[in-house]
Every structure is written in C-alpha cells, then in structure tokens.
Amino acid sequence: MLIAHLPAGYVIGSLARRMAPTARSVMLAALAGSVAPDFDIAWFWFVDNGGVHHRTYPTHWPLLWAALAAFLIPLVTLAARRWKVAVAVFFLAVLSHMILDSVAAPMHWLMPFDDRAVELVRIPATYSYWILSFMLHWTFALETGICAVAAWFVRKRREQRNFARNFT
C-alpha cells in the first residue's frame, strides 16, 4: 500500500473513539500504529541505500508486533489502566498495516521462523516507474476506497462539531 495506511488508521481511531469515548489518545494511537511499521523507511534509504526491501526488516514482522502486544497490553492494563484502550488500538492499527501490505506486497508473516513471503496479488512491473505500476493497478482502487471512507469520517466529524457549535 502506498497511501492507505494513515487513512485506515484514521478510520480505526474514529471507530475506537465511538466505542470508547472516554479513552485517552485513541486517535493518536491509531494514527501512530497505522504507520509505525514504516518507520524503517529512513533506515532503508539512508543506511541500506535501498539494498534490502524494507518489508524484511523486523519492523515489518507481524510476530514481533504480536509479541510486543502480548507483553504490553497486559502490562499497561495492570500499571496504567487508563491507557489500555489506546495501546490496544495502536496494535490493532499495526495489524491493519500488515494486512494492507499483504494485499499487493510480500509480507513475511512468520519471520523470523519462516522467511516465506505472502501477498494476495503480485503487481507486475508494467511501467518503467514502479509507482505508476502500483497506481494503475486495480488494487489502488482499494487504497482510494479506504481514503474515501476516511474522508467521509472527517466530514461527519466536522458536521458534528459545527452542529454542536451552532446549538450550544
């Protein structure tokens, strides 16, 4: 996925806010979680010089995130209960990142134990510039659909704010 991670995080954060309106920082947690696996892009470009695909780094290993979630969610539930929803939403958004990446890019779901990559659809390099191959493939419609849903959530939130402002 090229553009849908952050909008997907916004959708997750919006739904989480509706389900747990008093929980702290769920939107921030959802947005951060939705892009957290891609923090490795800086390493990819500035250290590895693009030599190793960034989805092979530990930040793109779902089992690493699952282990962190299995450790941190119970710990936060015991030590800082008011943050448990935000932490759970963060890891849900990370999972959404992994699922979205699996649509059209190789994901190593069982790394470090098994290095086989899984992807739903392989996008052929039909154009000289790789981004064009992605943007002109049908899977990009899925990305724009996610962006449209996020835009709808933004619009609804603005309407609610304006309504509340006009009648209070």
Q: How far apart are CA 29 and CA 89, in angstroms?
A: 6
Q: What is the pLDDT of residue 41?
A: 87
Paired tokens of 43: 């390493």
Q: What is the pLDDT of residue 127?
A: 87
Mean pLDDT of 103-113: 93
Percent of the chain beyond pLDDT 90? 68
Q: What is the pLDDT of residue 129?
A: 85
The 10s digit of each residue's pLDDT in 70-90 is: 999 999 999 999 999 999 999
65 and 94 Cβ atoms separated by less than 8 Å? yes
Q: What is the pLDDT of residue 18?
A: 94
Q: Tell if the pTM clears 0.75, that is, is over it.
A: yes
Count of domains for the chain: 1
The 10s digit of each residue's pLDDT in 43-60 is: 888 888 777 778 888 999
SS3 118: strand
Q: Which domain covers residue 124, as residue numbers?
A: 4-166
